[in-house]
Amino acid sequence: MYKKFSIKALSIVFSVLLILVIITEIVDKMQSTNTLRDVLFTVDKTQVSALKIYPRMLNGKDILLEKQTDNWLVKYNGKSYNADTNQIKTLINTFSELKPLRYAGKDKKQQEKYELNDSLCSKVILLDKKGKELAAIRIGKFSFLQNKRMPRQNPYMQQPQGTMISYVRLENENDIFAVEGFLSLSINQEPDNFRNRKLLSINKEKINKIEFTYPADSSFVLQQNDKEWKINESIADSASVASYLYAISNLSGTNFAKQELNNATHYLKIKTTDNKTYEISAQMLDTSSVLLTSTQNIGSVFKEKPDDNFTKIFKSKNYFLK
């Protein structure tokens, strides 16, 4: 009798425990489904034609990054400028592939803690070519997760120092997620930081003629003939020419100017073996500042110190002669 009772009791206990295990797994699965996700949202990158950005530092004002044919524009305060296309493509790739590392909460206190409420966050909206919203996400604070050194690790071997974590939530949801990356640095920026800073980008091997136009009678032409560089009939120093071509082949402007370049004092015209022409114009404002603009970045004017780019570009005739 006792033996039969014990078997029956054990069967009941086992059944109860089995039910509890099943219920626990179902609850855990439901909680996981409601919190941590494989990706925050799915967006076809090829459909993204604009990003509307609300940097925290602009206090509610937006910056529009808009695609036009193969180029991107930065639009702000009623003005339009050439954008840094590579930077925008990186942003699109980043926001279309966000993978949560962990769930961080959802209530208002946690939103404030992670700087995801209205007054503390930055925001990004991805739009298609018709202006339809594809996704909207808020970007909050960031933190640095220090990696723990593994035991018996060689202290002289270079190891990853840690992981940058950003806290985000979708615009119409309260759930907060930690994702990898320093997203606020990418978004919380001035409009000029999204602009194209290119001044000149050229294959130096294709350059075969450079015209320097200066005030007074100091203009001259540097031209390649039969693989030899000359200024009129004088042979130019090959090392000086090579150094110059290398220096100007990839130039970026520093600070964007607020004024226009109206009275250029210096011109540079470059011609290539594939019949392309590139021009740079400069206007000396005083001994400490100069305006520069380029046909490779029409509409952008840079205000710089002469030593930033001007002295690299505009050389005297004596620089090239033996």
Q: CB atoms < 10 A from the CB of 178, how many?
A: 19
Is the pLDDT at 21 greater than 90? The verdict is no
In this prediction, residue 158 has a pLDDT band, given cuts at 50, 70 and 90, of: low
Would you call 10 helix, strand, or coil by DSSP? helix
pLDDT at res. 97: 83
Is the pLDDT at 23 greater than 70? The verdict is no
Q: Residue type for 163, please?
A: T
pLDDT tens per residue across span 187-205: 999 999 999 999 999 999 9
Is the pLDDT at 248 greater than 60? The verdict is yes
Of residues 121, 278, 284, the one with CA closest to residue 204: 278
CA distances from 207 to 86, 123, 230 (A): 25, 45, 13
- Hunting for tokens 């996981």 — which residue is that? 32
In this prediction, residue 15 has a pLDDT band, given cuts at 50, 70 and 90, of: low
Is the pLDDT at 240 greater than 60? The verdict is yes
Higher pLDDT, 160 or 169: 169
* DSSP 8-state assignment for residue 171: T
pLDDT tens per residue across span 103-141: 999 999 999 999 999 889 999 999 999 999 999 999 999
Percentage of the chain lying above the pLDDT 70 cut? 84
pLDDT at res. 160: 53
